Structure 1
Amino acid sequence: MPTPVSAAIDRARAHAPFLALLLDREPVLAERLAAGMFDLAYTAATPDMPIARQLRLDRRALALAIAIGDLAGVYDLTAVTQGLSDFADRALDRAITAAIAERTPGEAPRGFAAIALGKQGSRELNYSSDIDPILIFDPRTLPRRAREEPEEAAVRIAKRVVELLQARDGDGYVLRVDLRLRPSPEATPIALPVDGAIGYYESQALTWERAAFIRARAAAGDRALGGYFLDAIRPFVWRRGLDFGAIGEIRDLSRRIRDHYASGQAFGAGYDLKRGRGGIREAEFFAQIHQLIHGGRDPALRAPATRDALARLAEAGWIGTDEAAALSRSYTLLRTIEHRVQMIDDRQTHVLPGGAALDGVARLHGLADGAALIALLREPVARAGQIYDALDDGRGGDFPHEPQALAARLEQAGFPDGAGAATLIARWRAGRYPALRSPAARDALEAVLPALMPAFADAPDPSAALRRLDGLLERLTSAINILRLLEARPGLAVLLATILSHAAPLADALGVRPELIDWLIDPGAFEPLGPVEALAAEMRRGEGGDYQALLDHVRRSVGEKRFALGAQVVAGAADPLDAAAGYARLAEAAIAVLAEATIAEFARSHGRVPGSELLILAFGRLGGAALTHASDLDLVYLFTGDFRAESDGAKPLGATLYYNRLAQRITAALSVATAAGPLYPVDTRLRPSGTQGPLVVSLESFARYQREDAWTWEHMALTRARPVFGSAEARAAAAAVIDAVLAGERPARDLTGEAVAMRAEMARHKPPTGPLDAKLLPGGLVDLEFTVHLTQLRHRTGFDPHLGRAIGALVASGLLPATLAVANDQLTRLLVVLRLVAPDAAEPSPATQALIARALRLADWPAVLEALAMTRQDVAAAWTQATGGSDG
């Protein structure tokens, strides 16, 4: 009658090709095993062999000895898993020692350690398991070559360790090595400086990482270093108190395990022994959940091995003794069958095969067939699943976690690429971003997904909008308040989706400064901006006496309010004309605050010019108090007083040089990006003589140039000029000069001929950017402005920087048709909206078309196109009429 050992060897040869191969390749060991001589230290390796071959031969011998001992009943599950784990420790330690010795001969293997996690950490490795170490090093003690940085040396050592263990050759391999359990594996090197790793676990680590460290152990290398690391992070793993949010997250983790591996849940052929309902992982996680909850106060519960942990939890009364016994029995049986599945071909698999292959697994175990194996497993698996079910408090989110189910749900909601959207949501749920690492943040995320996803599904490009949201979440430092707000106010979720879907400039601003979304929470976010004085006063409050801090504060303040104005337009909460006026007041306030501060800063070195001051004129859309989100600032700098004067500071300068340097500083203050980002592009080409002239001239020189030398296009630009910085007296003096020039103190010119030539030249060099270019299309805003300014200059009346008021005066005088007032409002509204939702002036998607129509107070997109066509006809007719008259 065969002995248990000989029967085990016969079953191995018949049903496990990998074991049969080992029995043939290790004849000496096979004879010893057949004789009942089990020695896990046996090896065919010799000391003169390369370390890589030694390790592979050692592994081969150990695999065969443990497998036959397991099949014969010589080793129980504890002996099997501890034998495999002890070998992994030794192999990892020898690989580290060899890797250091190869690079720095004679040096002791210090300053580099492997922290075993998972089943290696708890000494429960399976027959064909990965090991999941975290590799750490001490930059102060790690041996390294001359002129080599510690980080570089550590990574090279780590790569050699992995190669020694994982690379396959004719002798097979030693261990599969998975380094992805280290912090942020997509961004960190494979070996981490010990203090940096400690800092991560103290401040950023996730709940699943806490669970992983229940089983952590200094397994190889410099164990003193490993012990130092584990001692330092012990408070992170074992916390004396646990809030409800953390418990909720632990339960959520348990749900995600099941949802993620739904395909292996059904019991029978194809059942996943590890991840299926009632499987190995559920017993492990059942124990770990209770350890995390109670182990902070009771060190006796901190047992790394699953069955030990279950027993201690039962002894302490935290789980029932029957639950502990049932889970322990199920765990033991499933681990044993898992080993059978893996022995067959040395494959890292946990799935019961089907058909004849299932019969083979059963017979390897000593059963008649696959049906007998299924019958053996059925009751323990069902009981373990019932126990595990009790962990879920029923608070599952409204969106599934399993990838296929989630993708299907998202496609049902309207996402064309449900799988892509599901991948992003899985990333958020996994806490990949700092803002989503806390249990409270992910709880808030689950609560808001049912409202947020349908809003994004209605976007013109849902995938692009969702990617923008992903970028926003990646940059946020905290997401809890925003997510809770979106949950409480579904309309805000729709607005966020609208912004990210339709308004690229606003979405880009959010990507750079995610805190801008906080502005939408403010009760005044959808109120019109206040007057310039109030805006400037608010900006000044951030000064604190520090010039650089003020530059940053003004940029943040302008960014917030500019974002809010854009959001108002996109949401249909503000007339684009009102938004345009708000944009202009905001810019004027920024000019006032930054010019004041720059003047004061400049005066510290150079003093001030007695009897003189800087004056800033606004031209173009700023002069007309109607900016868009993307407008630049057309500025002209002047100074009053005697150009021959000199400043009175420690470093005196002549007035002209003084003000030119000062204006350069102000331009930089308004335009150069700081840590808080950019502010406005500044264009100073409308100054006397353009780019050929000095940046700043005296008011007297400016007046003389305008009266004697300026061209018609410069006088047309002057119709929109107004002082935006300077004392009341200086502003009045500049306004008097402008009024006098426009009223007739200028050279007689062929106004109509020059205007027509200028417009033709502009059309050649600046054609429309797209079919909706409200500015440059024939009959667009440029033609309207040319019509108005030509009429003003010719008739010397109707002057007002504000284009709408100027048109009103000219219409009242009978000089322009009333249709031009409507055209101006309509084109300006369209320009403001398009700068936000279609900056390229191309025809947008149908969803964005509907948004534009709402913003323009029109019924639909055909109505928008019709209104644009009629407006352009009206403007073209007015331009034709204006250019058909004679010069006056």
Structure 2
Amino acid sequence: MTEQSPSDLSNDAHWQTWCEWASEAGVAIPEGGDFEEARAPVWEASEYVAVSAARHPDEFEELAASGDLARSYAPGDLDQRLRRLLAEVADEPALHKALRLFRRREMVRIIWRDIAGTAPLAETLEDLSELADVCISQPLDLLYDWTCAEIGTPRDAEGRAQRLVVLGMGKLGARELNLSSDIDLIFAFAQSGEVEGGPRALSNQQFFVRLGQRLVQALANKTVDGFVFRVDTRLRPFGDVGPLAMSFQAMEDYYQSQAREWERYAMIKARPIAGDADDVASLMDMLRPFVFRRYLDFGAFESLRALKQMIAKELHRRGMDANIKLGQGGIREIEFIGQAFQLVRGGRDADLQIRPIREVLALLGERALLPEDAVTKLDAAYCFLRLVENRLQAHRDKQTHLLPSDDLGRLRLARSMGFADWAGFNSRLESHRQFVQAQFDDVFAAPAAEGESGETGLTAVWQGEHSIDYDHGQLEGVGFEDPAAVRTRIEQFRDATARKGLSSRGRERLGQLMPQVLRIVAGSEHPDLALERVLRVLEAVARRTAYLAMLIEHPVILSHLARLASMSPWFTDHIGRHPLLLDELIDPRRLYAPLRREDLEAELDALLAHIDAEDLEQQMERLHQFAQGNMLRVAAADLTEVIPLMVVSDYLTEIAEVAVGRVLQLAFDHLIARHGRPTSILGADTGFLVLGYGKLGGIELGYGSDLDLVFLHGSESITAMTEGPKDISNEQLYARLGQRIIHMMTTQTASGTLYEVDMRLRPDGNKGMLVRSLRSFAAYQETDAWTWEHQALVRARPIAGDPALFGPFAEIRRRVLCRERDPEQLRVQVRDMRYKMRASLDKTRDGRFDLKQGVGGIADIEFMVQYAVLRWAAVHPELTDWTDNVRLLETLARLDLLPGKAAEDLTDAYKALRAAYHRSALQEQPKTIPVDQLAPERERVESLWRALMEDA
């Protein structure tokens, strides 16, 4: 084999041809080290550029003299250049010629800058994509006018002239176009109708098909001047057999009922290139739900895995394993990795609804969906492979992705990539491809096949293929305690799912999943109990095959589900009602690490970022997802004792506060958009305050707790009006604001309700106004409120709203709580209210003690604390600093206001009773315990009650 040298690649003959022309034409040959330093590698790497310069020397001379080879284009440069060129074009032959000359000039420039290294990859891809965009949109405008003049104007039902909407797909859609690439286009129009003003009757579809054909010809027909872009329109509905242009309605019908899974993948990159702005927005809104499902669609992994296997098989059959786009470790595998996550999660995380793959990868790193190191290496591999792709295609302006097999071609490619020889280049290339393939295999690893995890016997149990004794033996062997009962439950579940009418895909996935379920659940702490609870979840999601795919793809979800199910029914019941929460089980770093306020705010920002301000339904859905997902994380960390019990309520309270604060802001923004901002208010923000009472105010929220709320506003004048065009009084605005907040909090949606809200603690209870002014609230508390309302005020605090109102409320609260009171009268009033409450609410009976309302229970402690605050706050105003019982008891102890160890004993009893109450909530049991449990603590509380509230 003859060894090749760089001189074999030089294309010097073409350069000499140009130099001879320049000499004859009296044109100066460019001088300077920069030009020659760039020209030599360009001529070596791109025969296309060398031949173009030799054949069209005047064009290259103009390009070199213009300085365009040495500079980056500014935004809009290409558009302006082509617009000037087409200004005098009057017919299609002239249009075709102008486009081809324009394309040739700009391709030479782009290839020169790419090979010379003066343009980074991002600039090259952007320039190519912009070149395609302007070569589509500007000719389309001319062709539209010419077609209308010839055959009439297409109009909708209202008589509005319609334009063609052009979607760029693939790399063009993502603005990642490569040298010598096809451009994938889809044509659409808004409405069916008739063409007006033409010589004969035509439908709008006929018009737009004709227009589309003319555009394709303008771009793709080969003439003596070459072509502009090869055009592929096969990604349209029905492919080659479908009409070239379709109405939006026809497209929607197709994508809803007949589209295949790979078309979802393709549509991720769809980008409007031309068309009326309103029509474009309407089309993209229609397509979005087809591409990005509201639920987590893990079936995408299965579909893309199958598509990649099909591509690999076909490449191998055709002997094209060296394909850097479609082969192993190639560009397509990187794209599949990013787009799989987009398909799965894009419906819930709108930030992922982006087109450029490098931006997708970076976002996956930020979201911790891929390791940062993997993202860095995938990005480096992508850039390297795209440069290789461009170098391959720059050689002869040929669409190829195959590595050369001849020595000269290999040397040319290696040198164009900055390597001295093929060996050095190939080593780097293989390193990148091996990493990409390993990462792809990791992301798309197929779930373990039957038998690989010892599940053959459990598969038989699920399918009911063997005898009862066989099934019992298999179930007992893996760890179930009562195999007969478990077998019966499996039969019930199998029959129930059969009656649900699952699709063939659903039955297949369930058959694949159930042996895993049985094996994983059998290894949990209480397998029989866990199986019952896990099956409830599966019954809830069985018909949604995407969830079955999710569980198959991520067995770790089953592991966490089984573990937590064995600890609490709350967990699985919650997921059964809200299956989207299964996503929370994928990453244990998130699952067992509940968020604090700053991170909660950031997560909610991300969830709501792309929701339209007027889309109340989606705002509520995202708020529900936020609250439910974060409560689930708290429960997981609680059950596994990752966080101590006494801080569980802190987490749950912060979730509620963040949710209420965001509901307030969304509701306020909605109202001021219509009525303007309120005037003459205390505060510079909303002038609105949300108070939390009870458990919310006391930072003692539990799972499923109602929110006791009171609404106040800071309007200082009863006649003040809003400042908008549809002005209303401040009072009306705040009343509507309160109503909208309650509506958003309590309305049942597909995701349930956000929180149940109790407003009965507001002044005058259910008979009172929904929202009161701060001044009115103060007057009520000082003159009309009952003692029990002042008890409630002990636990009241601002949880959301205008910060300027926090201080004035605190002053009112302190003033009311620090009032001088008659100790005996106060004691009688508090005691009598407690007895009245106990008489109606205490569920102590049949050997069970009511943790909250029973004698010596939680409510007795709360009433004693409230009594103590109201009795001594006049002398010790620091008793108004806190709203939670534990810190109030600490303050009472520090001030030595309770006898002996009373405060310490009450604190210990309160924590013990709350722990039991809390556990009952997670077990979804009545909030009672056997009467012999916590007896010493209850007796101490009862003794202190008698001493403080009865014998004093």
TM score, norm. by length of structure 1: 0.50
Partner residue of 1:795 out of 844, 856, 872:
872
- State the Cα deviation string for residues 249-278 of structure 1 (Å, max 9, x = none): xxxxxxxxxxxxxxxxxxxxxxxxxxxxxx
Alignment coverage as a number of residue pairs:
490
Contact (CA 8 Å) 1:428, 1:436: kept in 2 or not? no
Aligned to 1:877: 943
Q: Which moved more, 1:626-635 or 1:407-416?
A: 407-416
Helix, strand or coil at the partner of 2:850: coil
Superposition deviation, residue 564 in structure 1 = 1.7
Helix, strand or coil at the partner of 2:680: coil
- Mapping for residues 268-347 of structure 1, pairs under 5 Å: none
- State the Cα deviation string for residues 44-95 of structure 1 (Å, max 9, x = none): xxxxxxxxxxxxxxxxxxxxxxxxxxxxxxxxxxxxxxxxxxxxxxxxxxxx
Aligned to 1:510: 575
Superposition deviation, residue 723 in structure 1 = 0.8
Contact (CA 8 Å) 1:616, 1:723: kept in 2 or not? yes
- State the Cα deviation string for residues 573-622 of structure 1 (Å, max 9, x = none): 33222211111000000011110110010112222211321111111010
- Mapping for residues 836-855 of structure 1, pairs under 5 Å: 836-841=922-927
State the one-letter code of the partner of 1:821: T
Residue 586 of structure 2 is aligned to residue 521 of structure 1: yes
The 3 A distance-change label for structure 1 pair 779 and 241 is closer
Contact (CA 8 Å) 1:476, 1:515: kept in 2 or not? no
Contact (CA 8 Å) 1:435, 1:479: kept in 2 or not? no
Contact (CA 8 Å) 2:506, 2:543: kept in 1 or not? no
Contact (CA 8 Å) 1:607, 1:649: kept in 2 or not? yes
The 3 A distance-change label for structure 1 pair 747 and 525 is farther
Identity, in percent, stands at: 26
Partner residue of 1:595 out of 641, 664, 669:
664
Superposition deviation, residue 463 in structure 1 = 4.1
Aligned to 2:172: none
Aligned to 2:892: 810
How far apart in 1 are the matches of 2:799 and 2:307?
62
Residue 480 of structure 2 is aligned to residue 417 of structure 1: no
Aligned to 2:739: 664
Partner residue of 1:580 out of 649, 653, 656:
649
Partner residue of 1:832 out of 918, 925, 929:
918
How far apart in 1 are the matches of 2:931 and 2:822?
42
How far apart in 2 are the matches of 1:748 and 1:536?
44
Helix, strand or coil at the partner of 1:701: helix
The 3 A distance-change label for structure 1 pair 426 and 689 is closer
Superposition deviation, residue 737 in structure 1 = 0.8
Q: Which moved more, 1:559-568 or 1:867-876?
A: 867-876
Helix, strand or coil at the partner of 2:705: coil
How far apart in 2 are the matches of 1:686 and 1:641?
21
Helix, strand or coil at the partner of 1:638: strand
Aligned to 1:703: 778
Helix, strand or coil at the partner of 2:883: coil
Helix, strand or coil at the partner of 1:477: helix
The 3 A distance-change label for structure 1 pair 790 and 697 is same
Aligned to 1:170: none
Structure 1 segments unaligned to the other structure (5+ residues)? 1-194, 205-235, 247-390, 844-863
Superposition deviation, residue 438 in structure 1 = 7.9
Residue 691 of structure 2 is aligned to residue 617 of structure 1: yes
Contact (CA 8 Å) 2:857, 2:938: kept in 1 or not? yes
The 3 A distance-change label for structure 1 pair 877 and 435 is farther
How far apart in 1 are the matches of 2:822 and 2:738?
29
Contact (CA 8 Å) 1:465, 1:501: kept in 2 or not? no
Superposition deviation, residue 403 in structure 1 = 4.3
Partner residue of 1:724 out of 795, 799, 803:
799
How far apart in 1 are the matches of 2:824 and 2:714?
29
Aligned to 2:227: none
Residue 823 of structure 2 is aligned to residue 823 of structure 1: no
Partner residue of 1:691 out of 766, 773, 790:
766
The 3 A distance-change label for structure 1 pair 439 and 456 is farther
Contact (CA 8 Å) 1:424, 1:470: kept in 2 or not? no
The 3 A distance-change label for structure 1 pair 768 and 553 is same
The 3 A distance-change label for structure 1 pair 199 and 424 is farther
How far apart in 1 are the matches of 2:885 and 2:542?
42
- Mapping for residues 535-550 of structure 1, pairs under 5 Å: 535-543=600-608, 544=610, 545-547=612-614, 548=616, 549-550=618-619
- State the Cα deviation string for residues 686-742 of structure 1 (Å, max 9, x = none): 111111211111101111111111111001100001011223221111111111111
How far apart in 1 are the matches of 2:783 and 2:840?
28
Superposition deviation, residue 406 in structure 1 = 2.6
State the one-letter code of the partner of 1:632: D
Helix, strand or coil at the partner of 1:525: helix
Superposition deviation, residue 422 in structure 1 = 3.6
How far apart in 2 are the matches of 1:475 and 1:440?
11
Helix, strand or coil at the partner of 2:692: strand
Superposition deviation, residue 676 in structure 1 = 2.8
Superposition deviation, residue 469 in structure 1 = 3.7
The 3 A distance-change label for structure 1 pair 200 and 575 is farther
- Mapping for residues 91-110 of structure 1, pairs under 5 Å: none
State the one-letter code of the partner of 1:546: A
Aligned to 1:453: 522
- State the Cα deviation string for residues 462-520 of structure 1 (Å, max 9, x = none): 5465344433444452334434543xx5xx64642354455333322211222212202
Helix, strand or coil at the partner of 1:399: helix
Contact (CA 8 Å) 1:525, 1:564: kept in 2 or not? yes
How far apart in 1 are the matches of 2:564 and 2:632?
10
Helix, strand or coil at the partner of 1:724: strand
Superposition deviation, residue 657 in structure 1 = 2.6
Superposition deviation, residue 243 in structure 1 = 7.3
How far apart in 1 are the matches of 2:885 and 2:496?
49
State the one-letter code of the partner of 1:637: F
Contact (CA 8 Å) 1:465, 1:500: kept in 2 or not? yes
Aligned to 2:837: 762
Partner residue of 1:551 out of 597, 620, 623:
620
Partner residue of 1:713 out of 780, 783, 788:
788
The 3 A distance-change label for structure 1 pair 582 and 476 is farther
Contact (CA 8 Å) 1:434, 1:478: kept in 2 or not? no
- Mapping for residues 49-64 of structure 1, pairs under 5 Å: none
Superposition deviation, residue 242 in structure 1 = 8.2
- State the Cα deviation string for residues 73-121 of structure 1 (Å, max 9, x = none): xxxxxxxxxxxxxxxxxxxxxxxxxxxxxxxxxxxxxxxxxxxxxxxxx
- State the Cα deviation string for residues 117-136 of structure 1 (Å, max 9, x = none): xxxxxxxxxxxxxxxxxxxx
State the one-letter code of the partner of 1:507: T
Helix, strand or coil at the partner of 1:537: helix
How far apart in 2 are the matches of 1:409 and 1:603?
65
What is the aligned-residue RMSD (CA, Å)? 3.8
How far apart in 2 are the matches of 1:865 and 1:569?
26
How far apart in 1 are the matches of 2:530 and 2:861?
35
How far apart in 1 are the matches of 2:865 and 2:585?
38
How far apart in 1 are the matches of 2:476 and 2:259?
38
The 3 A distance-change label for structure 1 pair 425 and 200 is farther
Helix, strand or coil at the partner of 1:651: coil
Superposition deviation, residue 675 in structure 1 = 3.2
How far apart in 1 are the matches of 2:910 and 2:593?
21
Helix, strand or coil at the partner of 1:776: coil
Aligned to 2:702: 628
Aligned to 1:682: 757
Contact (CA 8 Å) 1:615, 1:723: kept in 2 or not? yes
How far apart in 2 are the matches of 1:821 and 1:748?
23
